[in-house]
Amino acid sequence: MMKQARTLLSRSLCDQSNSLFASSTLRGFATWTDSSPTTGRDAAKPSGRVFAPYAIFKGKAALSVEPCLPTFTKIEPGNLRIDRRGSVMMTFMPSVGERKYDWGKKQLFALSATEVGSLISMGSSDSSEFFHDPSMKSSNAGQVRKSLSIKPLADGSGYFFSLTVNNSLLNTNDRIVVPVTKAEFAVMKTAFSFALPHILGWGRLTSQVGTAAQGITLHPKTDPMQLELEWVK
């Protein structure tokens, strides 16, 4: 039961399966249909979510990015331990007409902290490629492979983001490509740099200070600390 609760809570922070994209119009700019048979299967919907993707709509596809926060486990005596690190979720959707995108055919790619580090340190002529295997370490390893490629445009005006999903179980091979301008890439770099400490869980480390009496002594110090923390074993 606890596991179930944890799963729901985790999902509440970043599950996009019924996100604002699924049934919505973003600022009158774009609409989409949902060809997926799975929509609506979530009976128990958690609350407290915030949907604020940064979305880029292009002719053949759209790309939306959004931070996914880490989950924490309470450990005695009142401490928190990070349970699963956060990520930056990228959602690719093919277009099905002018400014219409098919949510049911979306493909997801969750950038880890280190992959985010790779992206934000890219120079204007650098390329990156990331590979994910959902079945890694299981008997199905290698049957579904995802790769995200980021390559500079020839004229230096931006990058191509290409997501390839090869599924040998379903015998499908999808590829969704979104051109990203330098300005849009600058938004990603700045927003991802902001998000990175939070997906590592360091946002909690710092906000913890403001809310508790932690780290505050009640009287002026009476002698200097000779002991460096580093030497306390």
Report 99-138 residues binding a copy of itself (CB under 8 A).
108-110, 113-118, 120-121, 132, 134, 138
Which of the residues 158 through 217 are near a copy of itself (CB under 8 A)?
181-187, 190-191, 193-198, 200-212, 214-217
Binding mask 30-69 for a copy of itself (x = CB under 8 A): ------x-x------xxxxxxxx-x-----------xxxx
**Count of positions on this chain that bind a copy of itself (CB under 8 A):** 112
Least distance (Å) from a copy of itself to the CB of residue 155?
15
- Answer yes or no: are the C-beta atoms of 46 and 175 closer than 8 Å: no
Among 76-84, 94-102, 153-161, 168-176, the segment contacting a copy of itself (CB under 8 A) = 76-84
Query: What is the nearest approach in angstroms of a copy of itself to the Cβ of residue 170?
Result: 12
User: Closer CB to a copy of itself, residue 133 or residue 160?
Assistant: 133
Contact residue for a copy of itself among 30, 64, 87, 102 (CB under 8 A)? 87
Compute the least distance from the CB of residue 140 to a copy of itself, in Å: 11
Beta-bridged to residue 74, according to DSSP, are: 80
SS3 210: helix
Could you give the CA distance from residue 165 to residue 147 in angstroms, rounded to a whole number? Answer: 7
Binding test (CB under 8 A) with a copy of itself, winner from 63, 89, 176, 178: 89
Site string for a copy of itself, 8-27 (x = CB under 8 A): -xxxxxxx-x--x---xx-x
Number of Cβ within 10 Å of residue 88's Cβ equals 23
Q: Which of 6, 58, 145, 175 binds a copy of itself (CB under 8 A)?
A: 6
The H or E element spanning position 209 is helix 202-211
Q: Name every residue whose Cβ is closer than 8 Å to that of residue 204 and which is 6 or more positions away in sequence.
A: 72, 80
DSSP for 174-188? Answer: EEEEEEEEHHHHHHH
Per CB under 8 A, the list member of 70, 94, 152, 179 interacting with a copy of itself is: 70
HSE of 222, CA atoms in CB hemisphere, 13 A: 2
User: CB pairs under 8 A, 24+ apart, for 164-169?
Assistant: 165/107, 167/143, 168/142, 168/143, 168/144, 169/140, 169/143, 169/144
Which DSSP state fits 20?
G
Near a copy of itself by CB under 8 A: residue from 35, 59, 60, 74:
74
